[in-house]
Amino acid sequence: MDNTGYSYGKSLLHIDNVSLNYDGRPILREVTAEVCDIVVPGKIQGQVVGILGPSGCGKTTLFRIIAGLLKPTNGRVSVNGFDRPVTAGEVGVVAQSYPLFEHRTVMGNLMLGARRKETNEGSARDRVMALLKEFELDDKYNLYPAQLSGGQRQRCAIIQQILSSDHFLLMDEPFSGLDWLMLEKTCELITKVSDMDDLNTIIVVTHDIVAACSVADHLWLMGREFGPDGTPIPGSRIVKQYNLIDLDLCWNPNLAGTPAFNNFVHQIKEEFRRL
Protein backbone atom coordinates (compact mmCIF):
# COMPACT_ATOMS: atom_id res chain seq x y z
CA MET A 1 0.00 0.00 0.00
CA ASP A 2 1.15 3.56 -0.77
CA ASN A 3 1.55 5.20 2.63
CA THR A 4 1.86 8.74 1.25
CA GLY A 5 -1.85 9.31 0.64
CA TYR A 6 -3.02 9.64 4.22
CA SER A 7 -3.93 12.64 6.35
CA TYR A 8 -4.96 13.27 9.94
CA GLY A 9 -8.53 14.10 10.90
CA LYS A 10 -10.01 15.02 14.25
CA SER A 11 -8.42 14.33 17.61
CA LEU A 12 -9.64 11.05 19.08
CA LEU A 13 -7.59 10.84 22.27
CA HIS A 14 -5.55 13.53 23.98
CA ILE A 15 -3.13 13.00 26.86
CA ASP A 16 -2.47 16.47 28.20
CA ASN A 17 0.52 16.98 30.52
CA VAL A 18 -0.34 14.01 32.74
CA SER A 19 1.69 13.51 35.92
CA LEU A 20 1.19 11.12 38.79
CA ASN A 21 2.85 11.17 42.20
CA TYR A 22 2.66 8.41 44.78
CA ASP A 23 3.73 9.10 48.35
CA GLY A 24 5.47 12.20 47.08
CA ARG A 25 7.43 10.25 44.46
CA PRO A 26 6.91 11.04 40.74
CA ILE A 27 5.72 7.99 38.77
CA LEU A 28 4.72 9.76 35.56
CA ARG A 29 6.02 13.20 34.57
CA GLU A 30 4.30 15.53 32.10
CA VAL A 31 3.14 12.85 29.67
CA THR A 32 1.67 14.39 26.52
CA ALA A 33 0.51 12.60 23.37
CA GLU A 34 -2.38 12.54 20.93
CA VAL A 35 -4.14 10.04 18.68
CA CYS A 36 -5.83 11.51 15.60
CA ASP A 37 -8.12 9.91 13.06
CA ILE A 38 -6.03 8.55 10.20
CA VAL A 39 -7.80 9.26 6.91
CA VAL A 40 -6.95 7.16 3.86
CA PRO A 41 -9.09 7.92 0.77
CA GLY A 42 -11.19 4.96 -0.32
CA LYS A 43 -10.26 2.80 2.68
CA ILE A 44 -11.54 2.17 6.18
CA GLN A 45 -8.48 2.79 8.32
CA GLY A 46 -8.49 2.58 12.10
CA GLN A 47 -5.66 3.50 14.44
CA VAL A 48 -3.29 1.23 16.39
CA VAL A 49 -0.83 2.74 18.87
CA GLY A 50 1.77 0.63 20.63
CA ILE A 51 3.07 1.77 24.02
CA LEU A 52 6.49 0.26 24.65
CA GLY A 53 8.97 0.52 27.46
CA PRO A 54 11.09 -1.45 29.93
CA SER A 55 9.49 -3.07 32.96
CA GLY A 56 8.67 -0.54 35.67
CA CYS A 57 8.57 2.44 33.30
CA GLY A 58 4.95 3.34 34.07
CA LYS A 59 3.15 1.66 31.15
CA THR A 60 0.52 0.06 33.41
CA THR A 61 -0.01 3.32 35.29
CA LEU A 62 -0.60 5.20 32.05
CA PHE A 63 -2.88 2.33 30.92
CA ARG A 64 -5.07 2.86 33.98
CA ILE A 65 -5.19 6.62 33.53
CA ILE A 66 -6.19 6.34 29.85
CA ALA A 67 -8.91 3.86 30.88
CA GLY A 68 -10.28 6.32 33.44
CA LEU A 69 -9.49 3.90 36.26
CA LEU A 70 -6.87 6.12 37.90
CA LYS A 71 -6.93 9.88 38.37
CA PRO A 72 -3.65 11.67 37.63
CA THR A 73 -2.14 14.16 40.05
CA ASN A 74 -2.01 16.74 37.24
CA GLY A 75 -3.23 16.91 33.66
CA ARG A 76 -5.94 14.82 32.06
CA VAL A 77 -6.86 12.36 29.34
CA SER A 78 -9.84 13.19 27.12
CA VAL A 79 -11.48 11.28 24.26
CA ASN A 80 -13.60 12.18 21.24
CA GLY A 81 -12.85 15.88 21.65
CA PHE A 82 -14.76 16.12 24.92
CA ASP A 83 -13.66 18.98 27.15
CA ARG A 84 -13.51 16.80 30.26
CA PRO A 85 -11.45 13.92 31.67
CA VAL A 86 -12.15 10.41 30.42
CA THR A 87 -14.39 8.32 32.66
CA ALA A 88 -14.30 4.60 33.34
CA GLY A 89 -16.22 2.73 30.64
CA GLU A 90 -15.55 5.16 27.78
CA VAL A 91 -12.46 3.17 26.81
CA GLY A 92 -12.88 -0.57 26.49
CA VAL A 93 -10.29 -2.52 28.47
CA VAL A 94 -9.12 -6.02 27.54
CA ALA A 95 -7.08 -7.28 30.48
CA GLN A 96 -4.36 -9.88 30.06
CA SER A 97 -6.51 -12.62 31.66
CA TYR A 98 -9.52 -11.96 29.34
CA PRO A 99 -11.98 -11.90 32.29
CA LEU A 100 -15.44 -13.30 31.60
CA PHE A 101 -18.18 -14.40 33.97
CA GLU A 102 -17.67 -18.14 34.27
CA HIS A 103 -21.31 -18.81 35.23
CA ARG A 104 -22.63 -17.16 32.06
CA THR A 105 -22.52 -18.46 28.51
CA VAL A 106 -20.72 -16.57 25.76
CA MET A 107 -24.07 -15.04 24.79
CA GLY A 108 -24.82 -14.13 28.40
CA ASN A 109 -21.46 -12.41 28.81
CA LEU A 110 -21.76 -10.45 25.60
CA MET A 111 -25.36 -9.39 26.22
CA LEU A 112 -24.17 -7.53 29.31
CA GLY A 113 -22.08 -5.31 27.05
CA ALA A 114 -24.70 -5.05 24.31
CA ARG A 115 -27.40 -3.84 26.70
CA ARG A 116 -25.31 -0.79 27.54
CA LYS A 117 -25.93 0.50 24.01
CA GLU A 118 -29.12 -1.28 22.92
CA THR A 119 -32.30 -0.97 24.95
CA ASN A 120 -34.15 -3.41 22.68
CA GLU A 121 -33.39 -7.03 23.61
CA GLY A 122 -33.77 -8.32 20.08
CA SER A 123 -31.51 -5.64 18.60
CA ALA A 124 -28.89 -6.34 21.27
CA ARG A 125 -28.95 -10.06 20.50
CA ASP A 126 -28.70 -9.42 16.75
CA ARG A 127 -25.66 -7.20 17.34
CA VAL A 128 -24.00 -9.89 19.46
CA MET A 129 -24.64 -12.61 16.89
CA ALA A 130 -23.32 -10.41 14.07
CA LEU A 131 -20.04 -9.87 15.92
CA LEU A 132 -19.77 -13.53 16.89
CA LYS A 133 -20.09 -14.42 13.21
CA GLU A 134 -17.55 -11.74 12.25
CA PHE A 135 -15.05 -13.26 14.70
CA GLU A 136 -15.89 -16.88 13.77
CA LEU A 137 -17.50 -17.67 17.13
CA ASP A 138 -21.15 -17.95 16.12
CA ASP A 139 -21.15 -21.68 16.91
CA LYS A 140 -19.83 -21.00 20.45
CA TYR A 141 -22.61 -18.70 21.70
CA ASN A 142 -24.07 -21.31 24.07
CA LEU A 143 -20.75 -22.44 25.57
CA TYR A 144 -19.28 -21.32 28.89
CA PRO A 145 -15.88 -19.58 29.14
CA ALA A 146 -14.26 -22.72 30.59
CA GLN A 147 -15.12 -24.52 27.34
CA LEU A 148 -13.24 -22.00 25.18
CA SER A 149 -9.61 -21.94 24.12
CA GLY A 150 -7.39 -19.04 25.12
CA GLY A 151 -7.74 -17.48 21.68
CA GLN A 152 -11.52 -17.81 21.76
CA ARG A 153 -11.66 -16.18 25.20
CA GLN A 154 -9.55 -13.32 23.88
CA ARG A 155 -11.94 -12.77 20.98
CA CYS A 156 -14.94 -12.86 23.34
CA ALA A 157 -13.30 -10.29 25.63
CA ILE A 158 -12.63 -8.02 22.64
CA ILE A 159 -16.22 -8.36 21.37
CA GLN A 160 -17.50 -7.53 24.86
CA GLN A 161 -15.58 -4.25 24.87
CA ILE A 162 -16.55 -3.39 21.27
CA LEU A 163 -20.17 -3.73 22.32
CA SER A 164 -19.90 -1.50 25.37
CA SER A 165 -17.37 1.22 24.50
CA ASP A 166 -17.18 3.92 21.83
CA HIS A 167 -14.48 2.94 19.34
CA PHE A 168 -11.67 2.66 21.92
CA LEU A 169 -9.93 -0.54 22.95
CA LEU A 170 -7.05 -0.64 25.41
CA MET A 171 -5.19 -3.95 25.51
CA ASP A 172 -2.81 -4.95 28.30
CA GLU A 173 0.03 -7.26 27.20
CA PRO A 174 -2.06 -9.11 24.56
CA PHE A 175 1.02 -10.99 23.29
CA SER A 176 2.28 -12.32 26.62
CA GLY A 177 2.87 -16.07 26.76
CA LEU A 178 1.67 -16.75 23.20
CA ASP A 179 3.34 -19.16 20.80
CA TRP A 180 4.31 -17.76 17.39
CA LEU A 181 1.13 -18.94 15.66
CA MET A 182 -1.19 -17.46 18.29
CA LEU A 183 0.85 -14.26 18.33
CA GLU A 184 0.40 -13.94 14.58
CA LYS A 185 -3.34 -14.51 14.91
CA THR A 186 -3.57 -11.88 17.66
CA CYS A 187 -1.83 -9.32 15.44
CA GLU A 188 -4.28 -10.12 12.64
CA LEU A 189 -7.18 -9.78 15.09
CA ILE A 190 -6.02 -6.35 16.27
CA THR A 191 -5.73 -5.15 12.67
CA LYS A 192 -9.17 -6.53 11.88
CA VAL A 193 -10.80 -4.76 14.84
CA SER A 194 -9.12 -1.44 14.08
CA ASP A 195 -10.25 -1.56 10.46
CA MET A 196 -13.90 -2.26 11.27
CA ASP A 197 -14.48 1.50 11.59
CA ASP A 198 -12.46 4.61 10.73
CA LEU A 199 -12.73 5.81 14.33
CA ASN A 200 -11.71 2.53 15.96
CA THR A 201 -8.60 3.12 18.03
CA ILE A 202 -6.61 0.34 19.70
CA ILE A 203 -3.89 1.10 22.20
CA VAL A 204 -1.63 -1.85 22.92
CA VAL A 205 0.51 -1.74 26.05
CA THR A 206 3.30 -4.29 25.74
CA HIS A 207 6.95 -5.11 26.22
CA ASP A 208 6.98 -7.21 23.00
CA ILE A 209 8.86 -4.98 20.55
CA VAL A 210 8.47 -7.20 17.47
CA ALA A 211 4.71 -7.69 17.93
CA ALA A 212 4.12 -3.99 18.59
CA CYS A 213 6.09 -3.02 15.48
CA SER A 214 4.13 -5.59 13.47
CA VAL A 215 0.70 -4.22 14.31
CA ALA A 216 1.00 -0.49 15.13
CA ASP A 217 0.96 2.61 12.93
CA HIS A 218 2.43 4.75 15.74
CA LEU A 219 4.67 3.82 18.67
CA TRP A 220 5.15 5.63 21.97
CA LEU A 221 8.33 4.73 23.81
CA MET A 222 8.18 5.28 27.57
CA GLY A 223 11.10 5.63 29.92
CA ARG A 224 13.19 7.95 32.06
CA GLU A 225 15.15 10.96 30.91
CA PHE A 226 18.56 11.89 32.24
CA GLY A 227 20.06 15.18 33.33
CA PRO A 228 23.32 16.66 31.98
CA ASP A 229 25.26 14.77 34.65
CA GLY A 230 23.68 11.44 33.70
CA THR A 231 21.40 11.33 36.74
CA PRO A 232 17.90 9.99 35.98
CA ILE A 233 15.13 12.58 36.26
CA PRO A 234 12.34 11.23 38.53
CA GLY A 235 9.18 10.15 36.76
CA SER A 236 8.69 8.37 33.42
CA ARG A 237 7.30 9.98 30.31
CA ILE A 238 6.94 9.32 26.58
CA VAL A 239 10.50 9.96 25.48
CA LYS A 240 10.04 9.18 21.77
CA GLN A 241 7.19 8.84 19.31
CA TYR A 242 7.48 7.03 15.98
CA ASN A 243 5.22 7.44 12.96
CA LEU A 244 5.48 4.05 11.25
CA ILE A 245 3.39 5.29 8.32
CA ASP A 246 6.00 7.81 7.26
CA LEU A 247 8.71 5.22 7.86
CA ASP A 248 6.84 2.86 5.48
CA LEU A 249 6.73 0.27 8.27
CA CYS A 250 3.02 -0.50 8.55
CA TRP A 251 -0.07 -1.63 6.62
CA ASN A 252 1.93 -4.36 4.91
CA PRO A 253 1.31 -7.95 6.12
CA ASN A 254 4.60 -9.10 4.54
CA LEU A 255 6.77 -6.50 6.26
CA ALA A 256 7.87 -8.53 9.29
CA GLY A 257 11.30 -10.07 8.75
CA THR A 258 12.37 -7.67 6.02
CA PRO A 259 15.68 -5.81 6.47
CA ALA A 260 13.89 -2.47 7.05
CA PHE A 261 11.66 -4.00 9.71
CA ASN A 262 14.53 -5.83 11.42
CA ASN A 263 16.66 -2.69 11.45
CA PHE A 264 13.86 -0.71 13.07
CA VAL A 265 13.30 -3.37 15.74
CA HIS A 266 17.04 -3.29 16.45
CA GLN A 267 16.85 0.50 16.78
CA ILE A 268 14.04 0.24 19.35
CA LYS A 269 15.97 -2.38 21.31
CA GLU A 270 18.95 -0.05 21.45
CA GLU A 271 16.65 2.70 22.74
CA PHE A 272 15.46 0.31 25.48
CA ARG A 273 19.03 -0.17 26.65
CA ARG A 274 19.47 3.57 27.08
CA LEU A 275 16.29 4.08 29.14
- Is 132 in the same domain as 260? no
- Is 69 in the same domain as 194? yes
Say how far apart CA 148 and CA 68 lie, in whole Å.
30
- pLDDT of amino acid 113: 86
Mean pLDDT, residues 135-162 taken together: 92
**Banded model confidence at residue 151, pLDDT cuts 50, 70, 90:** confident
Nearest one of 190, 14, 191, 168 to 85, comparing CA atoms: 14
23: region left, alpha or beta (phi > 0 left; psi from -120 to 50 alpha): left
- Is 86 in the same domain as 106? no
The model's pTM is 0.91
Of 23-37, 39-53, 114-128, least confident by mean pLDDT is 114-128
Residue 2 inside a domain? The answer is no
- Split into its structural domains, the chain has a count of 2
- Is 238 in the same domain as 154? no
Residue 135 inside a domain? The answer is yes
Percent of the chain predicted with pLDDT > 70: 99
Final residue of a structural domain among 164, 197, 215: 164
- Is 68 in the same domain as 104? no
Assess whether pLDDT exceeds 60 at residue 1: no
- Is 173 in the same domain as 67? yes
Structural domain range at position 78:
7-91+168-181+188-274
Of 36-50, 66-80, 107-121, least confident by mean pLDDT is 107-121
Q: Could you count the other beta carbons within 10 Å of the beta carbon of residue 259?
A: 7
- Is 259 in the same domain as 141? no
**What CATH code is carried by the domain that includes residue 61?**
3.40.50.300
The pLDDT mean for the chain works out to: 92
Assess whether pLDDT exceeds 90 at residue 59: yes
Say how far apart CA 265 and CA 208 lie, in whole Å.
10
- Is 18 in the same domain as 113? no
Of 6-20, 153-167, 237-251, 258-272, least confident by mean pLDDT is 153-167
- Is 19 in the same domain as 145? no
**Banded model confidence at residue 26, pLDDT cuts 50, 70, 90:** very high
- Is 249 in the same domain as 174? yes
- Is 196 in the same domain as 260? yes
- 120 burial via Cβ count (<10 Å: 0-12, 13-18, 19+): exposed
- Is 264 in the same domain as 232? yes
Residue 201 inside a domain? The answer is yes
